[in-house]
Amino acid sequence: MSLYTWLRTATVGFTVVLATATATTANAAPAPATEPSATASSSAAVVTLRYDDSRAGGWEAAIAAGVASWNANVDNVKLVEAAPGARAEIVIVATTGWPQATLGPVRPGRQVRVELGSQAVSQGYDKTRIAAHELGHSLGLPDTKPGPCSQLMSGSSAGTACVNAIPNATEQARVESAYAAGAASLVATDGRTVVDAP
């Protein structure tokens, strides 16, 4: 065998051995899997619902406070203001009648309506409590009338002196339960409107 043939055969053999060793080493030592962070896993379970209050003039501060109350007290659903012109799941309008809302739980891509009626305000009911209460309907909570002031969903039955706009532990748990498995598991709203006249 000539020196040239021997070197060529040895080089080819060495290249095959080197390639096999490299592939074996790469397969034998895979990169360690990274643990997903708690933030990433918990944010994946949050259902975001957009609201449009562009037709709720005079109620902006009450709506903002009602939204803040829900966002501070439930973890797996968040209410955010829709960008101008964007479709919102919760459409909020100011009316002259009694407050009313479509009973949810609303899911992304669907739509419910909240009417913030000035008739309740003229009779002495608190605007922030009204806004938070009506948003509670959108999240799937029915009225609990008659009820104490500590129940947000007791609505007007708690009287005009009641200004509580914070859902109690039971109300928080019911919303958390409704959104527990994410948006895909939510049943469609039945379209029933809940009117909150006394």
134 is catalytic: yes
Instruction: Say if CB 95 and CB 115 are below 8 A apart.
Output: yes
- Residues 139 and 90: beta-carbon distance below 8 Å: no
Closest CA to 182 of 61, 46, 62: 46
Strands (E), 20-175: 47-55, 77-81, 90-95, 100-102, 112-117
DSSP per residue, 108-125: TT--EEEEEEHHHHHTT-
Marked catalytic residue, from 115, 134, 171, 176? 134
CA distance 5 to 66: 85
Which active-site residues does the annotation give? 134
